[in-house]
Amino acid sequence: MRRVFGFLIGIFVGWMAGSTIALLLAPESGEKLRGELRSRSGGFVDEVKSAADARRKQLEDQLAALRAPRMPTKSE
* pTM (2 d.p.): 0.45
Q: Is residue 25 part of a domain?
A: yes
Q: How far apart are the first and last CA of the chain?
A: 46
pLDDT at residue 59 is higher than 90: yes
Give the model's pLDDT for residue 53: 92
Give the model's pLDDT for residue 76: 57
Burial 13-51 (b: 16+ CB within 10 A, else e): eeeeeeeeeeeeeeeeeeeeeeeeeeeeeeeeeeeeeee
How much of the chain exceeds pLDDT 70, in percent? 91
Q: Is residue 54 part of a domain?
A: yes
How many domains in the chain? 1
Q: Which residue has the higher pLDDT, 9 or 27?
A: 9
Q: Is residue 74 part of a domain?
A: no
Q: Is residue 72 part of a domain?
A: no
Q: Is residue 73 part of a domain?
A: no
Contact 15, 4 (CB under 8 A): no
Alpha carbon distances (Å) from 44 to 7, 50, 67: 20, 10, 34
